[in-house]
Chains A and B, each alone.
Chain A
Amino acid sequence: MNGRYVGLLVGLLILPAILVTVWLRNAQARLDNAEQAASGVAIASASEDAYCSPQLKQILRRVAGACGLLEGGARGCKPTDAKNVAALSGDDFNALFKPLNHRASIIQFDADTGALDEPGQQLVEKAWSDQRGASFFFVVSRASPDGNAERNQELSQERAQAVLQHLETRFQDPDIRKEVGLLWLGEEFAQLTDEFCAWTRSRGGECTAKDINRSAFVAWIDCAI
C-alpha cells in the first residue's frame, strides 16, 4: 500500500462520515430546541358558545348551584328557590333561554297531566342526543294558569320528572343524574309568551300562551360554568 492508496481509502471514507456526523449533530440540536409537538394543538374541552357572557354564566351558576347541579345531583328546584337565589324576575329568567333558540325544544303536555306523549318523547330524545359539547341539560317545566296554583306546582313537577324518567329509561346513562337539572315553575313565575310558539315544539298546529306554558322547556347549555 502506498500513500495514494491509503489517501484514497481514508478520503473516501471520511467524506461521507463527516457528512453523516454533521447531519446527526444538526438533528440533535434541533431536537434539543424543539418545542413539544402538541403544544400548539387545542385540548379537548366542553363547548363554550358565544352567548355565554360573564353575566349569563353568573346567573347560570347561581341557578345551577341552587338546584344542586354543581354538586353533581339532579335535585329539582322550585320558583321560590330560583327567585331567592338567582334574584331574577320572570322576564330576566326567560331572557336566559332566548339565545338558546337553536338548541332548545318545548315539550308540550295536555291540560292537567304530566304524562309525556309519543311526540314529546321523540323530541326529548332528539334534544338529548344533540348534547355536543354542552355540560348541563336544563328541564324547565311550567303549567298554564288554569286551576289552582298548588295543583299547577305539582303538575309542573310531574312534567319535569316525566322528562327525566323518560331519559333514564331510554338511555340508561349514568351521567343523566349528573347532567340534568329540573326546575318546576308552576304558573307563578316566568310564564312564556306566545312568541315561544315559533320555537321547536313537540306539537304542531295552533299554539296559544296557555299551550306553550303546559310544557317542559329542554335545552343543553353550552357554557363551562
Chain B
Amino acid sequence: MSEYPIIYEDDRSGSKPPVRADNPIKGLLFGVAGASGLGAIFAGLSTSDFVNHLDRQVHQIHCSFIPGAGAELGESGCRTVMMSPYSSLFRESMWGGLPISLWALAVFAYLIFRSTEFALRPSLRRKETLFLVAATGLPLMMSLIYGTLAAVKVGAMCKLCVGVYLASMTSFGLALAAHLKLPEEHGYDPSGPPYARWFGEGVLYVAVMTVLYMVAVPTSDKSLKGCGTLAKKDDPHGIMVPLSSGKGGTPAVAVLDPLCPACKAFEDRLDTSGLVGKLSLNAVLFPLDASCNWMVKESLHPGACAVSEAMLCDKDGADQILAWAFEHQEELRGEAAKDEAKLRRRLGEVFPKVKGCVGSAAIKNKVNKSLRWAVANALPVLTPQLFVGDRRVCDEDTDLGLEYTLAAMLADPGKSTGKGGKK
C-alpha cells in the first residue's frame, strides 16, 4: 500500500527515516486476524445453532470450547442462553429475532479484513492501528455486557459465548500491543487515516448480514394462526388458577404441570418476554402424574397431583405454591417418587392454609375436573400449553418465537391471520 503516507519517527525536526511495519507488528496484526477468525467460528457456530431452530424443531446445540464439538440435545447453559431474550433483538417483529451472534460474526469478519489489510501493508501509522484498537474494543465491550447479563440475568453461561469473549479479549489485546509497539508520531502528517470509510466498511458488513438475514429468515403462517382453539373455555367448576404474573387485558390460559421443567422454563420466558403484563393469565393444572391423571401410563412428574391439589386448595396463594414448586422441582419429584404422603405432609407444613385440604375427596375431585377440562377441549397430553384468547400458541412457538407469536396474537386476538413470519 505504497500510496499511504510514510511514517516518520519525528523529533520535531522531520529528519528521521520512515518506520516500516516490521515482522513483530505484522505478527501481532495477523494474531488479531487469527483471534478474530476464532471469534468468527464461535459466532458462526452460535448463529448456525440459532438458525437451525428457525425450523421450529428441537436441535442439538454446540456447547464446547472446542469449535464444532460438544453438540448436545438436552438442557445446557448454551440452550438456556440461546432461549433467553438476550440472545436476539427485535423478537416481537421477527420469529426468533435477529441473533446477536450474527452481528458478532459480521464484526469478527470485518476485523479479520481490517487486521489482515493492515498486516499486508509495508508501513503503518499509530493513528491507523488506533482504529483497530477501537474496532476490537467493540466486541470486547459487548462481551463484557453480555457476559454480565449471562451471569446476572440468565444465570447460565454458554461455552460458545465464552469462546467469543476470549477471542474478543485476545484480538483487543493483540491490537493494543501492535499499536503500542509502533512509535509515537509527532511530526509531519499530511493526511489523517480514512476513519469514516473504515467505519463505513464495518457498518457495511453488519448491514449486509442483517439485511440478508431479514430477507431470508424462514417464515410460516402457522405461528399466527395458532394450533387449535378452545372449544369449551368456560370454567363452571372453578378449576382455573389466576396467576398474578399476568393481570393485563387479553384473557389467556396456561396449561401447566407444577413439577414439569419445561413449564418452569416457559414461565421464565413468559415473564422475561415483557408481554405477560398484557395478559390476564389463568392456569389450568394438568399434572403429568399417573396418581391422578389416567392419560399417562407412568408418572412423568411424581408429586404433581399433590402440588396441584395444594394450588387448588389455596387459589389466592397458588402463585407462591407454584413458585415454590418450580424452585424445588427435582427435589419434590424425587420425594414423591419415594413417598407421596411425605410430600403431602410437607405441603401442609410449608403452606399451612392447605393443611387438611390436600388429599381430601373434594380437592381430588377438583383436580379431576381440571383434567376433564383438558378432555373437553381435546388438548394434547403435554405441558406447557398457552392459549391467547381462544387460540392455542403452537408448541414450537413457545420458546424462540414466543415474543413474536404473542405480540402478533395480542395485536389480533380475535381472528387468525394468514400473514407471513415477519410483520
CA distance A38 to B220 in the complex (A): 16
Asked whether A23 and B48 contact (CB < 8 A) given A17-B208, A37-B394, A37-B396, the answer is yes
Stretch of A25-33, A110-118, A187-195 that contacts chain B? A25-33
B395 in complex: contacting residue of A12, A38, A128, A133, CB < 8 Å: A38
Stretch of A1-9, A74-82, A204-212 that contacts chain B? A1-9
A198 interfacial contact with B, CB 8 Å = no
- Nearest Cβ on chain B to A215's Cβ, whole angstroms: 20
A16 interfacial contact with B, CB 8 Å = yes
Label chain B's interface by main secondary structure. helix
B201-A9 in contact (CB<8A): yes
B337 interfacial contact with A, CB 8 Å = no
CA distance A43 to B374 in the complex (A): 9
Q: Which residues of B contact A44 (CB under 8 A)?
A: 295, 371, 374-375, 377-381
Which B residue sits closest to A38, measured CB to CB? Answer: B380
Contacting A at CB under 8 A, from B375-419, are: 375, 377-382, 394-396
B362 in complex: contacting residue of A13, A20, A170, A222, CB < 8 Å: A170
- Nearest Cβ on chain A to B54's Cβ, whole angstroms: 4
A173-B109 in contact (CB<8A): no
Q: Mark A172-195, 1 if CB is under 8 A from B, else 0.
A: 011100000000000000000000
B51-A23 in contact (CB<8A): yes
- Nearest Cβ on chain A to B380's Cβ, whole angstroms: 4
- Nearest Cβ on chain A to B286's Cβ, whole angstroms: 8
A131 interfacial contact with B, CB 8 Å = yes
Count of chain A residues near B, Cβ 8 A: 45
CA distance A5 to B201 in the complex (A): 12
B56-A34 in contact (CB<8A): yes
B365-A43 in contact (CB<8A): no
CA distance A135 to B375 in the complex (A): 11
A8-B56 in contact (CB<8A): no
Contacting B at CB under 8 A, from A100-143, are: 125-126, 128-133
CA distance A30 to B54 in the complex (A): 9
Q: Mark B345-379, 1 if CB is under 8 A from A, else 0.
A: 00000000000000001101100110100110111
Q: Which residues of B contact A12 (CB under 8 A)?
A: 109-110, 112-113, 116
Q: Mark A48-65, 1 if CB is under 8 A from B, else 0.
A: 000000000000000000
Asked whether A24 and B227 contact (CB < 8 A) given A13-B204, A45-B375, the answer is no
CA distance A161 to B228 in the complex (A): 41
CA distance A222 to B295 in the complex (A): 12
Which A residue sits closest to B211, measured CB to CB? Answer: A17
CA distance A130 to B201 in the complex (A): 71
Which A residue sits closest to B379, measured CB to CB? Answer: A44
Q: Which residues of A contact B382 (CB under 8 A)?
A: 38, 41
CA distance A28 to B218 in the complex (A): 5
CA distance A15 to B396 in the complex (A): 31
Q: Mark B259-301, 1 if CB is under 8 A from A, else 0.
A: 0000000000000000000000000000000001011000000
- Nearest Cβ on chain A to B96's Cβ, whole angstroms: 10
Q: Which residues of B contact A47 (CB under 8 A)?
A: 294-295
B35 interfacial contact with A, CB 8 Å = no
B54-A24 in contact (CB<8A): yes
B216-A28 in contact (CB<8A): yes
B295 in complex: contacting residue of A27, A45, A129, A173, CB < 8 Å: A45
Q: Which residues of B contact A46 (CB under 8 A)?
A: 375
CA distance A41 to B300 in the complex (A): 15
B379-A43 in contact (CB<8A): yes
CA distance A21 to B236 in the complex (A): 52
- Nearest Cβ on chain B to A17's Cβ, whole angstroms: 6
Q: Which residues of A contact B377 (CB under 8 A)?
A: 44
Q: Which residues of B contact A24 (CB under 8 A)?
A: 51, 54, 213, 216-218
B380-A23 in contact (CB<8A): no
A43-B380 in contact (CB<8A): yes
What 18 additional pairs, Cβ within 8 angstroms, besides A42-B380, A174-B237?
A5-B117, A12-B109, A12-B110, A13-B109, A13-B110, A21-B212, A21-B216, A24-B51, A24-B54, A24-B217, A27-B52, A37-B394, A42-B381, A46-B375, A47-B294, A128-B365, A132-B294, A173-B369
What are 27 A-B contacts defined by CB distance under 8 Å?
A5-B117, A12-B110, A12-B116, A16-B40, A19-B48, A20-B47, A20-B213, A24-B51, A24-B213, A25-B216, A27-B54, A30-B55, A31-B55, A31-B218, A31-B220, A41-B380, A43-B378, A44-B371, A44-B375, A44-B379, A45-B295, A47-B295, A129-B364, A132-B294, A171-B361, A173-B237, A222-B294
Residues of A within 8 A of B (CB): 2, 4-5, 8-9, 12-13, 15-17, 19-21, 23-25, 27-28, 30-31, 34, 36-38, 41-47, 125-126, 128-133, 170-171, 173-175, 222
